């Protein structure tokens, strides 16, 4: 049986060189980074090297990089601390954000009584920037905007530079969940003046359980997790040294090979889009995920013309055939609520059809995509 992994938006295979780096760290550098002896100092030095490396690629200052357990913690930290520490009265977001942002925003509304406002979406699921402009101009209250750069389910790309400029002009702070774009797109935080960003290593062939927040210098945020002076006082807890050096290795590899890997993965996506359109009449693409220039090159979200009864067996059938993909975000596994993103952008008839997210990486091949399309075609005809 073939084994095909097309769920890279959920998590990616760890690069061999990252595994080797982490094994070396686990075996040879086991001191607590907060200890003052040589074992601790060597671990601390490597952590600070990783911080400087990441900052250099983002054109940030090392002090602006805070290591976290991943994107969810980083999103929670930034939103919560901004409301608690910076006097945010209005939080503006959209209904197609990751739940790490949406659920945090809902909790903050209850806890602090802030105004929670949602930017209207266009028919493709993009936040309407004219409506954002009107929300920003509504009153003089201190505002935080939180809009993701790459939608994790439908792959839509936000015009993040335009949003950053708009927020700056209106005196609002801007946070972007960039978990799906760090490691896949170039970043320069001087050119795109975001105040806060988030990243997770496992989205770009690094280990799970480690990520980072970009927090603009002198932001005024105090730590969310307290109990120690680690992370330059920004996050308490003994640093997972092996994970941090793994993140650094994956981050450097992602950007050093970005051009060649982006070209390769883009060709795979284009091939898959054309192949499935040809094989299954009536197939559609959710959001802008079928357009190469308007969505990320790493995923597409396909709506298949199957009836309700057939749809019930689709994921089970694909799994039996060794194919891994997603019905929606992997964070929703086990839930029968369906995709909150698709619920926002599709009508009732469209929602009755099964939608699958296929996400690609450097480890995929055209032969694998041929196999997936063939399995789907046979299922459609059965």
Catalytic residues: 331
Q: What share of the chain is helix, strand, coil (3-state, %, to 5)?
A: 45, 15, 40
CA 305/CA 295 separation, integer angstroms: 22
Residue carrying the six token digits 């993103």: 341
In terms of Cβ atoms closer than 10 Å to its own Cβ (0-12, 13-18, 19+), residue 18 is buried
Q: Which of 308, 79, 326 is nearest to 198 (CA)?
A: 79
Question: For residues 197 and 75, is the Cβ–Cβ distance under 8 A?
Answer: no
Question: Which tokens is 101 given?
Answer: 């942002």
Query: Measured between alpha carbons, how far is residue 230 from residues 48, 71, 172, 223, 262 in Å?
Result: 12, 19, 29, 10, 36
CA 167/CA 129 separation, integer angstroms: 11
């Amino acid at each position: 049986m073939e084994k095909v992994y097309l769920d890279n938006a959920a998590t990616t295979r760890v690069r061999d060189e990252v595994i080797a780096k982490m094994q070396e760290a686990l075996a040879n550098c086991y001191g607590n980074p907060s200890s003052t002896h040589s074992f601790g100092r060597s671990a601390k030095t490597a952590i600070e090297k990783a911080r400087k490396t990441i900052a250099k690629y983002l054109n940030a200052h090392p002090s602006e990089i805070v290591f976290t357990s991943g994107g969810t913690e980083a999103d929670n930290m930034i939103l919560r601390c901004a409301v608690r520490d910076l006097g945010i009265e209005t939080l503006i977001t959209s209904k197609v954000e990751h739940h790490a942002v949406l659920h945090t925003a809902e909790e903050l509304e209850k806890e602090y009584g802030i105004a929670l406002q949602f930017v209207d979406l266009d028919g493709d699921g993009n936040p309407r920037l004219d409506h954002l402009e009107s929300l920003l101009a509504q009153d003089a209250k201190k505002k935080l905007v939180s809009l993701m750069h790459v939608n994790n389910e439908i792959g839509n790309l936000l015009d993040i530079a335009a949003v950053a400029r708009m927020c700056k002009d209106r005196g609002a702070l801007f946070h972007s969940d960039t978990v799906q774009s760090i490691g896949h797109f170039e970043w320069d935080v001087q050119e795109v003046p975001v105040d806060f960003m988030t990243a997770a290593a496992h989205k770009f062939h690094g280990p799970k359980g480690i990520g980072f927040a970009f927090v603009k210098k002198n932001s005024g945020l105090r730590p969310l997790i307290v109990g120690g002076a680690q992370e330059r006082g920004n996050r308490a807890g003994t640093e997972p040294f092996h994970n941090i050096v793994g993140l650094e290795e994956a981050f450097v590899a992602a950007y050093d090979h970005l051009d060649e890997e982006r070209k390769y993965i883009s060709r795979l996506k284009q091939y898959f889009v054309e192949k499935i359109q040809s094989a299954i009449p009536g197939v559609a693409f959710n959001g802008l995920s079928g357009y190469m220039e308007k969505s990320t090159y790493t995923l597409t979200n396909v709506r298949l013309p199957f009836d309700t009864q057939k749809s019930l067996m689709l994921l089970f059938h694909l799994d039996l055939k060794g194919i891994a993909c997603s019905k929606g975000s992997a964070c929703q596994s086990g839930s029968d609520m369906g995709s909150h993103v698709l619920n926002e952008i599709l009508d009732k008839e469209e929602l009755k059809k099964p939608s699958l997210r296929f996400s690609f990486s450097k480890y995929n091949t055209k032969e694998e995509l041929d196999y997936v399309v063939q399995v789907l075609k046979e299922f459609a005809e059965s």
